[in-house]
Structure 1
């Protein structure tokens, strides 16, 4: 008999021992964090086809940030992206719209997301509600079901589904993007079932009055506070919206302990790459030819 597979990520609040391989899709964030490595994320905002998932994987990303908050993507789109991602080995996480309701949040998880990103958190009660709908008992009150794409629709015991979903398939990202959430970040981090404190850089900077001044001491201190709370309570820190400032990301990763790093979204990269290419093509024409 093969020895038990032991996964020890207690530094991040997760410690599991299993006697057989897990049935659920791999969660790259948890696996990489256990090795003290970062997990990079590619943002999807406008492209619903599975092709973008494989492009993101080919580019070297380990996870996806599928955005249903600032987008016209549907829950059906998100589900198809998640199914493709889990099969391709690139872990899909989905941000839900603000005040979308418990039913919508549960459907996103049922559709194949390996975690749910909850925006506009204003304190402990908001975070508790997000955890309650995302986790099965005893951590939460998620409704029991079966036939999940995270398990390739295999018929499995409810105990297997609920245990593996709670540990690996329903990562709860509590967004720290309001001044209220920042003030209560230590209490939020202490909640069982809160897995990741995710800084929404633009909204947080706007709330604390530093938007546009990324070097502002108050903003850097806010990042430090989130990192300290995550470390104190054995949770992960994530950061979004700062891919244009690698110097600050370096500090967030190496000093504050950030592990989930969200890069650019599909629309931004397409515009950026397209602009660079069109500028290059126009530059090929000599000034003399253009003048004539």
Structure 2
């Protein structure tokens, strides 16, 4: 358990890129984990991942080297504990719109006295190579695992300071597509909407002021530098579908070009 954690790397100012995994197949996850990303996020909210696929995909991520992250379904705070027991290092909870949501999420993520997470770390300890009898694990996991609450509505923005103040919430994760829908009151979906960028920057500033982490989903990778300057340190990029499409299009175009050159 001596390796540098995701939280430590973010606190050190690294710009970390996480792949986004929607396909519930460990072989696909393993391939994505070897592409060079710093982390891989297994998406249970909008992606196809289930409890079983998360159980089997986490070691595929670890084998490739990146940090394993899980986004749970809305309100499934019980799954936050299970994701950690399966070996995840970070859990993202969507639609945290109330202080009670934040408190329930934190309670599921942290061992007492900070939270209410129950003991059952056999799988996670095995996958992490923990050599002790569990005492060291118990004493270190509250700081080695990350609970990121998603800010993606006007309601969440209004209480962002209060969410960040909840003990056990380690930071926030912005979903700009949903945030753009909320920002325009349902009129438009545009994760790069210029009109909301001041609010996006404000969220990062609030997290930084609270001494906590800020992460964001990036539909347009060209905006990573801009968001890094705001204070974000973890950036989710695309999904396997996008990686396949971009790679395939590149190969196809090269083949077409070679044919035309021989014509």
Please classify the TM superposition score into its range, dividing by the shorter chain length.
0.7 to 0.9
Q: 2:117 aligns with which of 133, 138, 142?
A: 142
Corresponding residue for 1:211?
189
Distance 1:159 1:36, change over 3 A: same
Structure 1 position 227 matched with structure 2 position 201: no
> TM-score normalised to the size of structure 2?
0.88
Residues 1:24 and 1:113: Cα distance change in structure 2 (over 3 Å): farther
Distance 1:278 1:105 in 2: 41
1:91-139 residue CA offsets vs partner (Å, 9 max, x unmatched): 100001113352x332222111111110011121111111111110111
- The 2-side partners of 1:87 and 1:178 are apart by 36
Unmatched segments (≥5 aa) in structure 2: none
Distance 2:141 2:3 in 1: 10
The structural deviation recorded for 1:202 is 0.5
Q: How does 1:185-204 map to 2 (within 5 A)?
A: 185-204=160-179
Identify if the C-alpha distance between structure 1 residues 245 and 114 changes in structure 2 by more than 3 Å, giving closer, same or farther: closer
Q: Does 1:165 align with 2:141?
A: yes
Question: What is the rounded CA distance, in whole Å, between the counterparts of 1:262 and 1:80 in structure 2?
Answer: 21
Which protein has the larger Cα radius of gyration, Structure 1 or Structure 2? 1
Instruction: Identify which range, 260-269 or 80-89, moves more after superposition.
Output: 80-89
TM-score using structure 1 length:
0.80
Contact 2:18 2:41 in 1 (8 A): yes
Aligned equivalent of 2:52, options 76, 88, 91: 76
**What does 1:1-292 align with in structure 2 at a 5 Å threshold?**
23=1, 26-27=4-5, 29-46=6-23, 48-50=25-27, 52-57=29-34, 59-102=35-78, 104-152=79-127, 154=130, 156-168=132-144, 170-209=145-184, 211-212=189-190, 214-217=192-195, 219-240=196-217, 242-246=218-222, 248-254=223-229, 256-286=230-260
What number of residue pairs does the alignment pair up? 259
Mark the CA change 1:87 to 1:214 in structure 2 (over 3 Å): closer, same or farther: closer
Q: Deviations over 1:151-206 (max 9, x none)?
A: 536563443222222111x3101011111111111111111111121001111111
Counterpart contact for 2:32–2:240, Cα < 8 Å? no
* In structure 1, C-alpha distance between the alignment counterparts of 2:47 and 2:69, rounded to whole Å: 15
User: CA 1:46 to 1:136, structure 2 compared with 1: closer, same or farther past 3 Å?
Assistant: same
- C-alpha separation in 1, matches of 2:14 and 2:8: 9
* Distance in 2 separating the partners of 1:74 and 1:63: 19
Name the SS for the 1:194 alignment partner. coil
Looking at secondary structure, tell me which structure has more helix per residue: 2
Asked if the contact 2:180–2:193 (Cα under 8 Å) also holds between the matched residues in 1, the reply is no
Deviation at 1:213, TM superposition (A): 7.0
Q: Is the 8 A contact 2:19 2:32 kept in 1?
A: no
RMSD: 2.5
Q: Contact 2:30–2:63 (CA<8 Å) still a contact in 1?
A: no
Structure 2 Cα separation of the partners of residues 26 and 267 of structure 1: 30
State the 1:237 CA deviation: 0.4
